Amino acid sequence: MNMKTYINPKVEEFAEICERPIIESDELENTVKSVFREVKMNGDQALQWYTRNFDKVEISDFKIEARIIEDACRKIDEELKQAIILAKNNIEKFHASQKQGKEIITTSAGVECWQESRPIEKVGIYIPGGTAPLFSTVLMLAVPAIIAGCNEIVLCSPPDKNGDLNPAILYTAKLLGINKVYRVGGIQAIAALSYGTETIPKVYKIFGPGNQFVTAAKQFAQREGIAIDMPAGPSELLVMADETADIRFVASDLLSQAEHGNDSQVVCVSDNKGFLANLEKEVYKQLNKLPRKDFAIKAIANSKLVMLENKEAQIAFINEYAPEHFIIMTNDDEYYIRNVINAGSVFIGKYTPESAGDYASGTNHTLPTNGFAKAYSGVNLDSFTKKITFQRISSEGLLNIGPAIEIMAAAEYLDAHKNAVSIRLNRLKS
For 272-324, write each residue's pLDDT tens digit.
999 999 999 999 999 988 888 887 888 888 899 999 999 999 999 999 999 99
Q: Which helix (H) or strand (E) holds 285?
A: helix 273-287
Candidates 1.20.120.160, 3.90.280.10, 3.40.50.720, 3.40.50.1980; CATH matching 233-377: 3.40.50.1980
Burial 183-218 (b: 16+ CB within 10 A, else e): bbbbbbbbbbbbbbbeebeebbbbbbbbbbbbbbbb
Residue 341 burial class via C-beta count within 10 angstroms: exposed 0-12, middle 13-18, buried 19 and up: exposed
Residue pLDDT, tens place only, 394-427: 999 999 999 999 999 999 999 999 999 999 999 9
**What's the pLDDT at 351?**
97
Helix axes 212-223, 26-42, angle to 10 degrees: 60
* Extents of the domains making up the chain: 26-99+119-229, 233-377, 394-429
Q: How many whole angstroms separate alpha carbon 188 and alpha carbon 48?
A: 9
pTM, 2 dp: 0.93
Query: How large is the average pLDDT for residues 105-119?
Result: 98
Give residue-wise pLDDT tens across range 165-218: 999 999 999 999 999 999 999 999 999 999 999 999 999 999 998 888 998 999
Q: pLDDT by residue (tens digit) across 12-60?
A: 999 999 998 776 577 889 999 999 999 999 999 999 999 999 999 999 9
**Cα distance between residue 31 and residue 296, in whole Å:** 27
Assign domain 26-99+119-229 one CATH number from 3.40.50.970, 3.40.50.1980, 3.30.390.30, 3.40.50.1820.
Answer: 3.40.50.1980
Q: How confident is the model at residue 83 (pLDDT cuts 50, 70, 90)?
A: very high
What's the average model confidence in pLDDT over 334-342? 98
- Where in the sequence numbering do the catalytic residues fall? 324-325
* Average predicted confidence (pLDDT) for the chain: 95
186-195 and 212-223 helices, crossing angle to 10°: 20
Helices (H), 150-226: 167-175, 186-195, 212-223
**What pLDDT, in 10s, does the model give residues 128-168?**
986 678 999 999 999 999 999 999 999 999 999 999 999 99
- Is the alpha carbon torsion for 175, 176, 177, 180 positive or negative? negative
Whole-number percent of the chain with pLDDT over 70: 99
According to the model, what pLDDT value does residue 79 have?
Answer: 97
Helices and strands per DSSP (H, E), number in the chain: 17, 14
Reported residue count of the chain is 430
Rounded to whole angstroms, how far apart are CA atoms 130 and 230?
Answer: 21
At residue 1, the pLDDT reads: 59
C-alpha closest to that of 358 among 166, 173, 136:
136
Looking at residue 132, its pLDDT comes to: 75
pLDDT at residue 116, rounded to an integer: 96
In angstroms, the CA 430 to CA 426 distance is 6
Q: Which helix (H) or strand (E) holds 207?
A: strand 205-207
Task: Assign 390 to helix, strand or coil.
Answer: strand
Assigned CATH topology for domain 394-429: 1.20.5
The domains spanning 26-99+119-229 and 394-429 adopt the same CATH topology: no
Q: Using DSSP bridges, classify how beta strands 105-108 and 111-119 pair: parallel, antiparallel or unpaired.
A: antiparallel
